[in-house]
Amino acid sequence: MEYLSDRIKSLSASATLAMAQKSRELKAMGFDIISLSVGEPDFNTPEYIKDAGKKAIDDNFSKYPPVSGFNDLREAVSKKFREENGIRYAPEQIVVSAGGKHSLINVLLCIVNPGDEVIIPAPYWVSYYDQVLLAGGKPVIVEATIDDDFKISPDQLEAAITAKTRIIIFNSPSNPTGMVYSGDELEAIARVIEKHEGLFVMTDEIYEHILFSGEHVSLASFDFIYDRVITVNGISKSYAMTGWRLGYIGAPLWIAKACDKLQSQFTSGVCTIAQKAAVAALTRDDGSRKMMRDAFLRRRDLICNLLRGIEGIKFRIPEGAFYIMPDISFYLGKTDGEKTINTADELAIYLLEKAQVAVVGGDAFGAPKCIRLSYATSDELLIEAVKRIKETLEKLK
């Protein structure tokens, strides 16, 4: 007999990780699966960072770390925020966690009360929705479609705010759409937040370095809302370190202290070796960050060109991150004679079975007419994957 809590029963598993797991299993069974599902750089962690991790082992960093992170790491993060983003976060305002994903749930657990509303612009990254539920909050979705370039307007945001709204989760460059808000658009969003006392914004800037034009603008750099912003970032994407599991926040001191208290009962802090590697990542530059960004840009152009060859597919050219979110509504209701495709999720499963290409259906991202493709893979695999997708879709009438 199983006795699971209602909390865990009502939680969905991460759709991105589920698809990644499914393609791993099929590959292990011998199927020739191309995975454009999970979003992670296909590069190895740069050598100088790996060396710092190895040195941390040899230097015996084997004891419990301070709960919010080693001082040198919090100082490195503080300096990064100051120099790259123009934000002043003292080291005490930094909390290091086991990935940006962990940073996000920490903050939600610290400031959301049961019944509080949390605004999430859609399309959104899968975990936001379920993390809000886990924290007892009520997700309030503000929808942007492909015709809006997948970006919400200040008026839409204003209209969604109620007396119960506690926090907005913001993400640019965006997973899953790759869209980026301009400095002016961000300022307009910040002005809406400014008007509502007691309203916070958690801005997830984990893709800031994978930006194809212009400069990244941080919401916390707008002084008039600085004390109502929690900035989430991490090393997974910029430094190809998804498996090291390290992310961080910069936040008002009282939020940082609350996250410290929470972590003291949850994790006791982050793996010491990953922390020392993160110090190296943030304080040195061997050019790999730019090399990877340039590769993603080249692949962005490649996948856009390839997708243009498929009938009925609509998309926006991504401006950052390594995802593209085509609108596939042209194919909904179509059939191959045996199977009719009714939803984007069904199309994703169909592509996995027939084309042996793993993509993620849009439902879990709040984008039911779309699918998400991660193009963080080699040119050859991208070419082959889109060829297979095209051939499979051509059979749907």
Residue 177 contacts ligand PMP per CB under 6 A = no
Q: Which stretch binds ligand PMP (CB under 6 A): 69-77, 109-117, 234-242, 369-377?
A: 234-242
Quick one: DSSP state of residue 165?
E
Q: Which does 258 bind (CB under 5 to 8 A by kind): ligand GLU, ligand PMP, none?
A: none
Interface with ligand GLU in residues 175-214 (CB under 6 A): 175
Q: How many CB atoms lie within 10 A of CB 333?
A: 10
Q: Which does 297 bind (CB under 5 to 8 A by kind): ligand PMP, ligand GLU, none?
A: none
Taking the complex as a whole, how short is the minimal distance between the CB of residue 340 and ligand PMP, in angstroms? Answer: 32
Q: At what angle do helices 100-111 and 253-266 cross, to 10 degrees?
A: 110
Interface with ligand PMP in residues 5-44 (CB under 6 A): 39
Identify the residue among 74, 80, 101, 300 touching ligand PMP (CB under 6 A): 101
Taking the complex as a whole, how short is the minimal distance between the CB of residue 186 and ligand GLU, in angstroms? Answer: 22
Beta bridge partners of 121: 142
Taking the complex as a whole, how short is the minimal distance between the CB of residue 86 and ligand GLU, in angstroms? Answer: 26
- To which residue do tokens 């994978």 refer? 210
Residue 16 contacts ligand GLU per CB under 6 A = yes
| Rounded CA separation 82/60 (Å) | 31
Q: Which does 204 bind (CB under 5 to 8 A by kind): ligand GLU, ligand PMP, none?
A: ligand PMP
| Rounded CA separation 104/33 (Å) | 32
- Is the Cβ of residue 104 or residue 355 nearer to ligand GLU in the bound state? 104
| Rounded CA separation 338/336 (Å) | 6
Q: At what angle do helices 272-283 and 47-58 cross, to 10 degrees?
A: 140
Interface with ligand PMP in residues 311-350 (CB under 6 A): none
- Is the Cβ of residue 78 or residue 236 nearer to ligand PMP in the bound state? 236
| Rounded CA separation 271/263 (Å) | 13
| Rounded CA separation 2/327 (Å) | 40
Cis amide leading into 139 (omega within 30): no
Who's near 367: CB < 8 A, 6+ residues apart?
Answer: 122, 123, 176, 177, 325, 344
Taking the complex as a whole, how short is the minimal distance between the CB of residue 123 and ligand GLU, in angstroms? Answer: 11
Q: Which does 17 bind (CB under 5 to 8 A by kind): ligand GLU, ligand PMP, none?
A: ligand GLU
Residue 242 contacts ligand PMP per CB under 6 A = yes
Judge whether 100 and 236 are in contact, CB under 8 Å: yes
- Is the Cβ of residue 125 or residue 315 nearer to ligand PMP in the bound state? 125
Residue 324 contacts ligand GLU per CB under 6 A = no
Residue 78 contacts ligand GLU per CB under 6 A = no
Identify the residue among 70, 125, 129, 322 touching ligand PMP (CB under 6 A): 125
Half-sphere exposure of 65 (CA within 13 A, CB side): 26
Closest CA to 71 of 236, 206, 272: 272
Taking the complex as a whole, how short is the minimal distance between the CB of residue 115 and ligand GLU, in angstroms? Answer: 27
Residue 17 contacts ligand GLU per CB under 6 A = yes
Judge whether 243 and 214 are in contact, CB under 8 Å: no
Residue 139 contacts ligand PMP per CB under 6 A = no
Identify the residue among 68, 87, 94, 204 touching ligand PMP (CB under 6 A): 204
Cis amide leading into 173 (omega within 30): yes
Q: Which stretch binds ligand GLU (CB under 6 A): 9-17, 67-75, 247-255, 335-343?
A: 9-17
Three-state SS for 230? strand
Residue 100 contacts ligand PMP per CB under 6 A = yes
Q: Which does 70 bind (CB under 5 to 8 A by kind): ligand PMP, ligand GLU, none?
A: none
| Rounded CA separation 334/343 (Å) | 10
Residue 236 contacts ligand PMP per CB under 6 A = yes
Start-to-end Cα distance in the chain: 47
- Is the Cβ of residue 102 or residue 228 nearer to ligand GLU in the bound state? 102
Distance of CA 37 to the CA centre of its chain: 13
CA distances to 144, 166, 194, 232, 364 from 191, rounded to whole Å, are 19, 16, 5, 20, 30
Residue 175 contacts ligand PMP per CB under 6 A = yes
Which residues of the shown chain bind ligand GLU in the complex (CB under 6 A)? 14, 16-17, 38-40, 101, 125-127, 175
Which residues of the shown chain bind ligand PMP in the complex (CB under 6 A)? 39, 99-101, 125, 171, 175, 204, 206, 234, 236, 242, 247
